[in-house]
A and B are shown apart, each in its own frame.
Chain A
């Protein structure tokens, strides 16, 4: 449809009465081609013009002399050039304009059927683009999520620095993490696999807080994080991103796109992260931050088919070698009781694909398979685990009048084996790996009622080969009051089978004995969530969007680890009572025409459980759960310097901490703590970008006001601990607090202030 269109505006015509004129002509173009409708002005002359559709301009001037010529176009930075005109020689002058980084657009590009239009659905989905995560660059998705309100990556171990992701105050296992809509990150990998997902392969991250069970399965009680991988079609031909910190962490991302024949596009991504600097700033003889060596290779194929039907296949391989512990440790001590370290080798591969059936109806088959092989030692305790998950799902999308139907069937198979008693049969010592089949069907109907009201009804039925039937109904309602006001109400149930060893890191590390007092029942919950979005457009072009949510989750059963009853044990039992997570959160997103952008959010959380309802109800707040939290990202561009400034941060209220009984001198509750970062990005042109900044500006570390973070770090095998007859440690001069080795007192990264410098490049052709 694009055809040449000629247009000349010659204000100079007014001067045509003079006989001698000088012709000045040229082209205005940008990195992506000629710029039509760019204006060309003579700053010290009376004339101006605009370029035609091919970016050309021409103008007649009356008098020789020196002129300043300015070319400008909306969305680009203006360029001024000096011209000296003599006599009547025609002059040609070209302008190359750079895009103004301050121009906003939503970077969701062609594609993404249900994924994006679901945003219009009654379920509130927050979408985060890579641009958001670039404000505070991190090597993996785990660290990146610290910038999202209501989402907190929680470290679970001082030594090996593995962690999980809390949403709205609920523990990591309640968060469902999906890659391209498939449950690839579950079980073992929800603790050990998150750091292995590099930011570079992400097209965007969608977050649903609250129940999302009818579509994704009953586990998504706290919420879900769906990581959408890049589409080969939209990826640049070559991209590179390298950054290093003053702690000598190095992260490298390389992306490459190739066409394989006419019908296929292949995207390859390689991520390498290395941290091999044994820093012990708190002087406890243990590494402050876990040493890591990690490579991830990702490849995605997109095959073109008739009628634009979809077929993509992707594969990923991830290898990680991480260890933390005694700063004098090396691999020859691995598994022994001479020097303590936690060392984990993880090998993991994933295969995932989407295939649209060649039918008139829209039927989509999704499939994935992943294998996670882990060889780990915690001191002299060896944990070898192997997990395989196969998943397949067929969905049928159908629109009938005002009904948007989505029906589907899914099957998940999980194989899990390890060297612990968890996979041993009770009577004999024969190894019996876990095999769980989870078939399910679901139906969702999104009903458009009049123009402004939408209702979503969902029902899911799963059959767990161990626990039986699972029904999870779901209801959602959306009222689009007008363009600028939207109200949503969501309600649903959740159901989750607890898997202690794969989810609870502390259950594994061996510092405490795990005691399970009875057969653990599945957890059951219901949840309601109210969300309101308001957008305000200012006359000067500023945009504010604000949203407020209130949520309530009630657990009829919840398996909570009890660290407090006996410091040598973690006791698990069914909840005799109920548990609640409720709260309020607000987000503000502001963009002003001068380029200032502010994204800020805060949440108030009230999480508790009530036991002994009949006799003497006791309300307890779980450990490691904050009462309030806030996050922010403030960005401002200085266009003249081609510089952008990002100031990001988060702050968390006090949390209760896992101490080893009342003699433990460490704090029972954390202080209010905050991590803040600043970044400067210099944008040379569209192809290159240099960024630098400081992370953890306040130099905050969790051990600042503690006598120690790791209890008895110099005697990690409890060789010098004396125990009494009942097996409890007793106080001695060497062990004044009567403690044993304990690395589970952790709630924040033990990494102080550090600088970083990075370089990005992008080639599209």
Chain B
């Protein structure tokens, strides 16, 4: 009885949301850069971090931001705890589960470390030569993201 009521509430809650993203695979970046050189925005996130979810949502669903990204940037999402191997910038990065302290994907470590530490979310922007031109650790609300992306777009 209680269970069925709970299930009803749940199913009502489910009838919401759904996002469309224009994200890129790391493996495809090289080809894209050959076609058109653009900065690459990487959002380093984990599945359990709710602020990461908020930023991902802004990057993929906020109209002003997606318009900016579509015209000036490439966007890639990087799950720091993903266990897949990633090919990027001619190198192979992997998740090396070799101890309790190295459970971060190598690529996330490369792109997301600020002062040797990773926190989530971290935004990292690379230029077309795959050099880090901007990093920000911590949550950015949509207004701040727009500000940053505009500056970066102008700078390019």
Contacts and interface: CB of A to CB of B under 8 A. Distances in A.
B101 interface: yes
Interface of A: 1-3, 5, 7, 9, 32, 36-37, 39, 50, 53, 74-75, 103-117, 119-120, 127, 231, 233-234, 302, 305, 307-310, 354, 356, 362, 364, 397, 399, 481-485, 487, 530, 532, 534-537, 539-543, 545, 548, 550, 589, 591, 593, 764
Interface stretch (B27-35, B47-55, B66-74): B47-55
10 contacts: A5-B131, A74-B140, A103-B140, A109-B118, A117-B81, A308-B99, A484-B16, A530-B3, A541-B142, A591-B51
A53 B133 contact: yes
Given A9-B154, A105-B119, A106-B49, A1 B97 contact: no
B141 A593 contact: yes
Interface in B89-146: 96-104, 109-111, 113-115, 117-122, 127, 130-134, 136-144
A111 B103 contact: yes
A540 B53 contact: no
Which of A9, A364, A537, A589 counts the most B-chain CB atoms under 10 A from its CB? A537
Contact of A108 (B6, B119, B138, B144): B119
Which of B98, B115, B127, B130 counts the most A-chain CB atoms under 10 A from its CB? B98
Given A105-B51, A354-B100, A535-B53, 10 more contacts: A1-B131, A50-B155, A53-B133, A106-B49, A110-B101, A116-B81, A231-B101, A483-B19, A543-B50, A543-B54
Contacts of A305: 99
B11 to A, nearest CB: 10
Nearest to A127: B48
A537 B147 contact: no
A106 B50 contact: yes
Which of A3, A5, A106, A356 counts the most B-chain CB atoms under 10 A from its CB? A106
A111 B13 contact: no
A75 B96 contact: no
Given A5-B131, A545-B50, A548-B6, A112 B148 contact: no
Nearest to A100: B138
B152 interface: yes
A545 B49 CA distance: 11
Given A104-B138, A110-B101, A399 B6 contact: no
B51 A543 contact: yes
B101 A111 contact: yes
Interface in B52-82: 52-54, 56-58, 61-62, 81
Contacts of A591: 51, 54, 139
Given A105-B139, A115-B100, A116-B103, A3 B131 contact: yes
Contacts of A399: 83, 97
Given A37-B151, A105-B120, A110-B117, A484 B53 contact: yes
Contacts of A75: 136, 138, 140, 144
Contacts of A307: 96, 98
A56 to B, nearest CB: 13
Nearest to B99: A310
A105 B155 contact: no
Contacts of B143: 540-541, 593
Closest 7 CB pairs of A and B: A541-B141, A310-B99, A104-B139, A537-B57, A103-B138, A113-B103, A105-B138
Contacts of A537: 53-54, 57-58, 61
Given A74-B136, A75-B138, A107-B119, A356 B54 contact: no
A85 B140 CA distance: 36
B17 A482 contact: yes
Nearest to A537: B57
B114 to A, nearest CB: 8
Given A485-B13, A541-B58, A309 B98 contact: yes
Nearest to A106: B49
B10 A532 contact: yes
Contact of B6 (A127, A302, A530): A530
Nearest to A115: B100
Contacts of A532: 6, 10, 13
Contacts of B119: 105-109
A32 B117 CA distance: 12
Contacts of B99: 113, 305, 308-310, 356
A75 B123 CA distance: 12
B95 to A, nearest CB: 10
Given A110-B101, A309-B99, A485 B14 contact: yes
Contacts of B122: 105
Given A106-B120, A530-B6, A5 B100 contact: no
Nearest to A119: B48
Contacts of B130: 1
Nearest to A480: B47
B81 A50 contact: no
A37 B54 contact: no
Contacts of A114: 100
A2 B96 CA distance: 23
Contacts of A1: 110-111, 130-132
A550 B144 CA distance: 39
A120 B51 contact: no
Nearest to A107: B119
B101 A50 contact: no
Given A106-B120, A110-B117, A550-B2, A308 B81 contact: no
Given A111-B100, A484-B17, A550-B6, A9 B155 contact: yes
Nearest to A305: B99
Contacts of B46: 106, 108, 116
A356 B53 contact: no
Contacts of B132: 1-3
A602 B117 CA distance: 35
Contact of A116 (B3, B48, B121, B144): B48
A302 B134 CA distance: 32
A483 B53 contact: yes
Contacts of A111: 100-104
Contacts of B50: 106, 535, 543, 545, 589
B74 to A, nearest CB: 17
Contacts of B139: 103-105, 541, 591
A16 B51 CA distance: 45
Contact of A397 (B97, B113, B114): B97
Contact of B131 (A2, A112, A539, A550): A2
A354 B122 CA distance: 30
Contacts of B144: 74-75
B72 to A, nearest CB: 15
Contacts of B148: 37, 74
A39 B144 CA distance: 12
Contacts of A593: 141, 143
Interface in B1-43: 2-3, 6, 9-10, 13-14, 16-19
B125 to A, nearest CB: 9
A53 B133 CA distance: 6
A354 B100 CA distance: 9
Nearest to B17: A484
A495 B152 CA distance: 59
Contacts of B131: 1-3, 5
A252 to B, nearest CB: 26
Contacts of A103: 138-140
B52 A110 contact: no
A356 B120 contact: no
A543 B51 CA distance: 7
A541 B155 contact: no
Contacts of A309: 98-99
Nearest to B2: A550
A287 B121 CA distance: 49
Contacts of A482: 17-18
Contacts of B140: 74-75, 103
Nearest to B127: A5
B53 A543 contact: yes
